[in-house]
Structures are given as C-alpha cells and as structure tokens.
Structure 1
Amino acid sequence: MPPKSTKKDEPAQSKKSQPTPWYLWPFQCVEYFFYAWLLLIIVEWTGHLWGWTVGEHARSVFFAQLALLQDDFPGLTQEVINYVLLIFEKAQMITNIEFVGFFAPLAPFWEGAVFATIALIARLIILASFYQIFLLALFVGFFDGLVVRQRRIAHLDREHVTIYYHSKRLLSVSMLLSGLAWLVLPGLWVIHPIWILLPSAIGVGILSRVVVSHYKKYL
C-alpha cells in the first residue's frame, strides 16, 4: 500500500513544482496586485495601533510621495496627477461618499481605503514608467552573459547546470518581489522610487547575465 500511494503522489508533486506558464503571468500579476491592495488597506485601518491616524496617514503619505517625485521627475509627476484627477472624475460618486449619523465613525476608514487605492494606482503608473531601466538592465546582462558564455565554451570550462536552474527561477521571483516592494513599501513610508527600483534593476541585470552565461544549449 505505501509504495502505491507514493507513486500516485509523484505526478501531483511534479505538477506543483512546474513554473507558471508565460500566458498566466498577467493573471498572476493581478492576483499579487490584489493582495498588495488588501494588505495596504488592512495596515491603514489598523494604523491606530502604532500611532497612525486612520485616513490621514494614507493621504499625507500620498501627497508627500508626489512632492518628493516632483523634485526629480516633474513630467512624470504631472502625468500621475492627471491620471489621479481622471480617476476622481470617473469615480466621483464613490470617492465623495459622506457618512452621517450612526455611520459617521466609518468616514476615516473609507477615506483611508480611497487614498490607499489611489496611491497604489499611482505607484503602478510610476512602476510602468520605469520599465526602460529594467529593459536596459536585461539588455546589458544578456549581452554580457553571451560574452562570458562564448569565453567559457572557447576555454572548455565546466558547465554549472545548477547555477543556471536556480538563477533562472530567481530572476522571475526577483522581478516580482521588486514590483511588490515598490507597490507596498511607499504606501507605508515616503520612499523615493530610485531607492527601490534602481537596485532592483541592477539585481535583474546581474541575474540575467548569470542565466545567459550558464545556458547550455545552442543559441
């Protein structure tokens, strides 16, 4: 009986260990975006436990983030502001809900949810605007990895399949974590995008170099 159960469990384990197909990546990104949104709202609603004013914290951090971005990227800041104003116009009835009477204590929680959502969308726009940095890092890492790979083949150096396997998996994970870090952390504290996105792009470039340099098959 035990051997049969282990044989049945092997296909299930192999399916779980398989990476996510490329055509499911957009849905996975939406899923993690939803998780980040829930986390930010929960942290905002429970902010009174560590001294934050519910609703006021999300609004103050959002405007401070825009002021910090205005100093170095005025054009990007204006684009983000235009999108935010468009969101306010499209969802004016939802964002301007007033709570009176018995529901008056819910007003700061609603305000915190609204500003946390708008700030998250603004950071998503900023992240999309910085895609050139990641493309440049991938481009440099790819060609530098090709040079290292050709040198390894010419000198008949030893191939490390384990390094290629783990670095390939770590590349996708690092890109996902860097995006989540930018979406979540500036919602808690005011952080300049360069402090998160630039080190993430450098790490992505290094990992892409390692992946290409240890690629075994013919190109």
Structure 2
Amino acid sequence: MANVESDSNSNKPKKKGFISSIVSTLFFSLLISIVIECIGITFFWTELGDSHSEEMLNVEFSYLEQDFVNSFILSEPVVFAENIITNIYELIAVKTGLIEIVDGTVNDESSTVYKYINSVGVYVKAIINIILVFFVRLVILILSIPIFILAAIVGCVDGLVRRDIRRFGAGRESSFLYYHSKAWIKPLLILSWLIYLSVPFTIHPNAVFIPMAFLFGLSISITFGSFKKYL
C-alpha cells in the first residue's frame, strides 16, 4: 500500500514555484514581443521597418529618464539601465558580429551567412531593439514593485478591518468569494508583467501598473475580508 501511495504521489504533476513562474513569464513575454514585432514589420508597419522598434526604445527610455529618476530600489536607475542596455547590445550585436554583417561592414560578401543575414537585416535589427526595449521595461517593472507592495498592504488592512466588522456583527461568510478572489491574486500580478513587457507599442507604465495594482489590491482585500470569521 505504501508503495502504491508513493507511486501515486510521484506521478502527480508538481506545481510551479513562484520563481519559475516569473522566469517563464519573462521568457514568454520576450518571445511574444519579438513575434509581434516581426509580424508587424511583415504586414502592418512595413515602411517603418526596424525604425518602429528603435522609436519604441527611445520613448521607453525617456519614460525611465523622466519618471524614475529616484527610487528606493536603485540609487541611479537611469545609469543602471544604460549599463544594462550597453552590455546587452555589446553581447548580442557587437561580439556576435551580427551588426557588422547587417550593416555590410564585413568584407566577405560572398559568404552564405552574410547574404542570408543581410537579406533579413531589418528583422535582425528589430529583434535587437525589441530585446533592449524588453530590458528597459524590465528595469521599469522592477522600479514599479513598490506600488504593488503598497496596494497589497492597503488591501490587507482594508480586508482585515472588514473581516473584523463582519466577525463582530451579523455578517455572513462566503467561501465562494474567498477562493475565487484568492485565485486571482497571482494571475493579476503575472498578467500585469506579461501585458507591459509584450505590448507592441509604446505605453506609459502608469497606464498598466496603476489599474493592475488596484485590481491586485482589491483581490487581496476581498480575500482577507471574506476569510472565515473564526479560526
């Protein structure tokens, strides 16, 4: 019997941890943004080409320069982001030689690799720009974590107060509200990251994080407020 139970337990799918969920979300967001940009270049902004992603990079970085000068998390966010962008660009574009091939600065023009990459140079540049945009947004996302922490604190306090009022009054418990609101806490957090990191156009961080932080805090408030009156 013990062997049967151990086998059944081993066959159960293991739930993903929070860290693995974050890594998966970041990778999926980057993949989506690259795919959307390539589709856009092919069908929607064909005349803009890689200038579309380059403009996105400039605008997203301007948001960082204007609204995230000071932060509790990083002492110099702009300098930190500049260093990340520079290092990543050096790693994926310069050291690999991609940018040289695309720009036609490689002498061996008879090379098959040269001809292939040069023919899709617009896509290569766009992908490089999108990767840089992704990391700029990732820095902004990290700097925006305090708004979610604040929303969580407010949600906890509000929910506990309403729970105490219900506990000492004639309020009724609702397991339906509790379990459904609890189930939305993690998805709302991850969804806000996924949306912000994947959208194929420039968007101010406040347009994503403020509404999602409100919904995140509201879910926590409902969860705490609908928690059973007696432990």
Alignment of 1:61-210 (within 5 A): 61-75=56-70, 76-91=77-92, 92-94=94-96, 96-99=99-102, 100=104, 101=109, 102-103=115-116, 104-185=118-199, 188-210=200-222
CA displacement 1:35-82 (0-9 Å, x = unmatched): 222211112222230124332211111112212332333353343223
Question: How many angstroms apart in 2 are the aligned matches of 1:170 and 1:26?
Answer: 18
Question: How many angstroms apart in 2 are the aligned matches of 1:121 and 1:68?
Answer: 13
Q: Name whichever of 93-102 and 115-124 sits farther off.
A: 93-102
**Unmatched 5+ stretches in structure 2:** 1-7, 71-76, 110-114
CA contact (8 A) 1:37 1:117 kept: yes
Could you tell me the percent identity over the aligned residues?
A: 25
**Structure 2: which amino acid aligns with 1:83?**
I
Q: Does residue 1:29 correspond to 2:32, yes or no?
A: no
What do you get for the CA RMSD once the two structures are aligned? 2.4
Alignment of 1:39-54 (within 5 A): 39-47=32-40, 48-52=42-46, 53-54=48-49
Question: How many angstroms apart in 2 are the aligned matches of 1:86 and 1:147?
Answer: 49
**Structure 2: which amino acid aligns with 1:109?**
Y
SS at match of 1:201: helix
CA contact (8 A) 1:59 1:112 kept: yes
CA contact (8 A) 1:137 1:204 kept: yes
**Structure 2: which amino acid aligns with 1:206?**
L
Q: Name whichever of 160-169 and 106-115 sits farther off.
A: 106-115
- TM-score normalised to the size of structure 1? 0.82
Give 1:4's aligned residue: none
**Structure 1: which amino acid aligns with 2:37?**
E
Aligned length: 201
- TM-score normalised to the size of structure 2? 0.78
**Structure 2: which amino acid aligns with 1:210?**
I
1:165/1:217 CA distance change after superposition, 3 Å: same
Q: Give 1:217 deviation, angstroms.
A: 6.5
SS at match of 2:190: helix
